Structure 1
Amino acid sequence: MTTLRHAPPRAADLYIGLMSGTSLDGVDGVLLELARSPEAAQESRHSSASHLRVRSHAHQVFPGQLRTDLLVLTQSCPDEIHQAQRAAIELVDVYAQVVTKLLSQEALAPSAVRAIGAHGQTVRHRPDRGYSVQINAPALLAERTGIAVVADFRSRDIAAGGQGAPLVPAFHHAAFWHAGEALAVLNLGGIANLTLIDQAGSTIGFDCGPANTLLDGWVQKHLGSEFDAGGSWAAGGGVSAALLHDLLAEPYFAALPPKSTGQERFNLAWLQRALASHAALQPQDVQATLAELTATTVAQDLRRHLPQARTLLVCGGGAENADLVQRLRRLVPGVDVMSSAARGMPPQQVEAAAFAWLAAQTLAGLPGNIPAVTGAAGPRVLGAVYAV
């Protein structure tokens, strides 16, 4: 097991975390307070929830054209270099708006914040080919905000032979785990990913498969809605056992971790290939089957890798999908499925808080990855710093 060390804040350090996930619904930002003595940091391998406090949260939706541009960049397109750089500048405009909101909500000057952790927008994730691409312009963000920016979190882990993802399990451990419990944390973003922490604190994590990326894409295609609010459309459909069987035949689901994935694998083209043999299905029944697919892959992975877990914390946008959460509860009897809010952090804040925390690790010169999660050769300090 890798022993994690955590950045020892001085009295109460403030960091901003920014996250725009694969669901492409906009940017979440948090102002995170890290309050812990250096002595406490040295005495414990992991932070506890009392050391972390989200003081403010802000959300900004993507302008329609930016969302379209980012989605186009997930596949090969004409003039990609220009399109990517233009999208990065526009993305930073949204990031800067979120930072301004957070500072205004707390009546803070930029100098009160040590750094911004800005993950960027993932458009290609190919660790098997040695790279992962996040659209971002961190130097511009530092100029716009007057705050140091930490970005490019994945590349060092990939250089060390890792997947570069997921990076949030170390934060989940710091924020949510209690000694002696077997805990699972599920992020339902565009992709579903699990963090699994056993009673001794050993941590693994990986991407299970698609979540909102297919659910949102299908409802947009057929209803014109941005997402299936509460999962109500899926709840009114019927699961196709035959389609579910064919979708579950995807080799990724049987692969052992470390593993990570994204829209380059799970997209509407992937779904359409499977639907070629199920042309008579109604769109609403396909939506129900996609929800069942997400719940099934998560349940299978939980039983396979941490069957002793009795608590499953759910975060990310999918935590608001009542139908999906109910499917999970049905498939993992004996497990208490609850919102991350039950441990003090609402679902939409968790990933942004993770990148604020990772920025603190970077500035302290401490690792942010867990080799057992990503497959890297060892612990690595992640990210590049754009100072002011």
Structure 2
Amino acid sequence: MDPLEVIANLNKAFPYFQPVFSADEHTIMGYEILGRYQSDQGIISLGPFFLDEDIPDEYRIEADNYILSQALEKSLNEGISTSFFVNRDANLLMADRGQSLLELLLRFCSKGLDLERIVLEISEKTFRGDFEQLFHLIQYYKTYGIKIAIDNIGGDSDQWERLAKVSPDIMKVDLQHLRKEAGNTAFHNILYSLSMLARKIGSTLLFENIELDYQLHFAWKNGGRYYQGFYLQEPSADFLKKEILREKLKTKCQEYIEHEKRHLKAVHGLAQLLQRETNEHINQLKKQMNDLDSLIISLSKFVGDKFFRLYICDGNGFQLTENLIRKDSRWAALDGFKGKNWSWRPYFLENIMRMQNKNAGLLSDSYSDIETGEMIRTFSYPLGENHYLFMDLAYDFLYDQDGIHY
């Protein structure tokens, strides 16, 4: 693409609109404004033009503002009252301190545009300037009611620090990686942590580049309120009926709900089974054993291949036994763990209190085991006298339980 050709023929540039759908209403909540160009070979994306840093900033800013002007003019003429996602690279935005964009928006505000419907979507991951200045500009935009979305969210801890400071209204998560990283537990853990961060700072998750059903299911399951991608709707030059996918999304949502209910029912059933079996074994063994290490050694003879690690802690998280490990169908004590404290682990003390209150065992969520790297669950059980038994379920056993491993 010849940038000079684009600038010389800006009248051939125009906006495309990719809808963003909501999980709660199953309707179009907004459109991302994209740039297109009518070339001799047909309609092409202006994405490469805006990403090419060899093109002078003023050229790219001019083209950006031209396309945005056309988009807003069209929305006002057609009475479209959804939100509009306006893409801006942070480096370009700071080139003129965001002045030209704000002037453009205020000009349309006088024509009837509600600035609270504007979502400024910023790519800040590659920002090379002073982040404090960018932060102040973002805060300034917010005073006009403009919402902020941050895209290209990844596992970069520095970026997460910035996210916490900016507290964007929306965080965009690219699901292209899911096709390559579907079995990568680290990727799933990062997204889980991101959903927790979003909840803490009051942001909403938007999952983009949804191209397959399982990606939509993944977005729904991981707290996505907004969805975008070719699986739902490709970009087009026209606005669509707000309810265009309402029935499809409602049906999909019902499918995901039923799937999740079956999953939760299976988890609950497993927890009840483990409670019954552990009750039976422990009641027999406690009559014979006074030593905790002997207790778990005797217990290992009853549990079969469900578990691969057994140990006992007190109510403050101090380990009272060594780890009993199953390897190649044989159990053996692994020294060096007695006396260690695990109260620092997330939810440890909370779960101790739950066991005390219910006087029953708990089955944990799935998580990546520090030592094996496999996704496991732990069944914890109150033994009485401030003693708590922890039994780590083997991945192979969980995998055979119809999806309980995830």
**Structure 2-normalised TM-score?**
0.30
Give 1 or 2: higher strand fraction.
Answer: 2
- Structure exhibiting the larger radius of gyration computed from Cα positions: 2
The structure, 1 or 2, with the larger RCO (C-alpha pairs under 8 Å, 6+ apart) is 1
